[in-house]
Amino acid sequence: MSRPARTVAALLAATVLLLAGCGADTPPPAADGDPTGTVTVFAAASLTESFTDLGRRFEADHPGTTVTFNFAGSSALATQITQGAPADVFASAAPKNMATVTDAGTPTVFARNQLVIAVPEGNPQRLAGLADLTRPGLKVALCAAQVPCGAAATTALDAAGVRITPVTLEQDVKGALAKVKLGEVDAALVYRTDARSADLDVDGIEFPESARAVNDCPIVVLADAPNPTAARAFVELVRSAPGRAVLTDAGFQPPSGS
């Protein structure tokens, strides 16, 4: 091709690119690594309030993203994931349930949670500790043993040498808390964060044996996450200073050593 012909061809190509770039309906390309689309987060029920807040922050920080949550007992969530439920992030209330998720990646502990005795506002039964839960006729709710709050309750009760017969075993901590809020039980062992979230309806009574049953809360980007970029960005928010502030306000403790 002659030099004039090459020059004309180059000018035509540049004109085509310029016209294409001026199209009103052509969006600018997203920067590499920017989160977009939907990120699906499976999270323990105890994280409902704080993660809902963080989800709103994430969407505000990353326009065009949507955070979809599935809140339930950690054991139920782990089962759903191992059975193929599509999820990007898994946040568990205890490491044991995280360990049951195959190929989960490398989880990181982002917070810790501790039990309290949840009672109706005003503490009408004047309960002061775990031993009071053995009173005749007192109705107590616990989480089921396979749920982290249930396993923690067992550890705390064993540490106190207390044996109780609950009237109900719930599949997540919100279920146990609801029994107190509805007046169906006199007390329940729940996380401090859950009692705080319902402080208009219940009081949380601290007890020393809870220090023997503190749960580490791990989070992970799942290995087969449909939206790994957004998943990593959400985990980064949870672990960031603003994320930790939200968790602390909810009653969570920082990870050990932080």
CATH number at residue 73: 3.40.190.10
Mean model confidence pLDDT for the chain: 88
Q: Distance between CA atoms of 67 and 64, rounded to whole angstroms?
A: 10
Total number of domains in the chain: 2
Q: What is the mean pLDDT of residues 82-95?
A: 95
Average pLDDT on 24-53 reads 78
At 200 the pLDDT is 87
Q: Is residue 14 part of a domain?
A: no
**Does one domain contain both 139 and 192?**
yes
How big is the CA angle at 79 (ends 78 and 85), to the nearest 5 degrees?
A: 90
Determine the pLDDT at residue 151. Answer: 95
Q: Per-residue confidence at 103, pLDDT binned at 50, 70, 90?
A: low
Provide the b/e sequence for 167-180 (b: ≥16 CB within 10 Å).
ebebbbbbbbbbbb
Range scoring the smallest mean pLDDT among 54-63, 125-134, 196-205: 196-205
Angle at 19 between CA 18 and CA 23, to 5 degrees: 115
Contact at 8 Å (CB) between 90 and 222? yes
Are 79 and 105 in the same domain? Answer: yes
Residue with structure tokens 């994430």?
58
Q: Is 13 left (phi over 0), alpha (psi -120 to 50) or beta?
A: alpha
Distance between CA atoms of residues 42 and 254, nearest Å: 21
The answer as to whether 90 is a domain residue is: yes
* 70 in the same domain as 46: yes
For the record, the structure tokens of 194 come out as 């859950």
Other C-beta atoms lying within 10 Å of the C-beta of residue 233 = 20
Segment 22-38 mean pLDDT: 55
- Whether 134 and 182 share a structural domain: yes
Domain span including residue 163: 115-213
Query: What's the rounded mean pLDDT across residues 31-38?
Result: 79
Statement: residue 208 has pLDDT above 70: yes
Per-residue pLDDT, averaged over 42-53, amounts to 97
Q: 13 versus 44: which is more confidently predicted?
A: 44
Tell me, yes or no, whether 56 and 106 share the same domain. Answer: yes
pLDDT value of position 59: 98
The CA distance from 203 to 164, in Å, is: 21
